[in-house]
């Protein structure tokens, strides 16, 4: 199903993760990492968003002119499995159509550092997506950041709540930067262009 976006409406870019310093470097928090880099790019600092249980940065991305987009960058301050409530509150407050929402999240079924962009679909067991879909349906964009599968018999829950390995951290900055580029391309140029450029 193809859903058209509203060119005049703002975009809500949601980095999924868990709040608190003990989670900051976890694989499950790569969405926060991408959102924080995008906030640096627009020159903003995250602040509490009114009554919504989230932190936000408002800004613009893209060149001057018709391709310039108003964006709201968000980090839900609920835990991952409750992300839908804060995201839905921000959607309503900023009057963002569901098709202008982008969830940036970790993805187990993709190799480390590989990106996949898509619109809609299932949650693939990801609790943040499951919570978002429950409150507003599945028709939002996803930027899926591959973290790979756990080694050996390690449980998925343990794997996603561990920090990236020392080997992974050597390339993490590059991959987070590339994911931020992909978000900008999606918002400015559309899904098809972003997929052809970043779906490696």
Question: What residues are labeled active site?
Answer: 28
**DSSP single-letter state for residue 145:** E
Alpha-carbon dihedral angle through residues 175, 24, 95, 1, given to the nearest 10 degrees: 50
Q: What is the CA radius of gyration of the chain?
A: 16
Strands 54-61 and 47-48: antiparallel
- Please give the DSSP secondary-structure letter assigned to residue 27: G
Phi, psi of 33 (to 5 degrees): -60, -45
Side by side, which strands form the sheet with 54-61? 47-48, 54-61, 69-76, 11-15, 101-107, 141-146, 115-119
């Amino acid at each position: 199903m193809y859903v058209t976006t509203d060119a005049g409406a703002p975009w809500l870019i949601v980095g999924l993760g868990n709040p608190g310093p003990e989670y900051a470097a976890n694989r499950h928090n790569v969405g926060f990492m991408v959102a924080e880099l995008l906030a640096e790019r627009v020159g903003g600092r995250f602040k509490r968003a009114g009554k919504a249980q989230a932190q936000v940065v408002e800004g613009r991305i893209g060149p001057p002119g018709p391709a310039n987009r108003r964006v709201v960058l968000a980090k839900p301050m609920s835990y991952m499995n409750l992300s839908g409530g804060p995201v839905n509150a921000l959607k309503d407050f900023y009057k963002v159509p569901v098709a202008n929402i982008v969830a940036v999240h970790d993805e187990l079924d993709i190799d480390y550092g590989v990106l996949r962009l898509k619109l809609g679909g299932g949650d693939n067991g990801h609790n943040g997506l499951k919570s978002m879909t429950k409150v507003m349906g599945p028709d939002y964009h996803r930027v899926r950041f591959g973290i790979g599968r756990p080694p050996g018999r390690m449980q998925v829950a343990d794997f996603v709540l561990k920090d990236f390995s020392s080997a992974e951290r050597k390339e993490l900055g590059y991959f987070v930067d590339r994911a931020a580029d992909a978000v900008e391309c999606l918002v400015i140029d559309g899904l098809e262009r972003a997929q052809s450029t970043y779906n490696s």
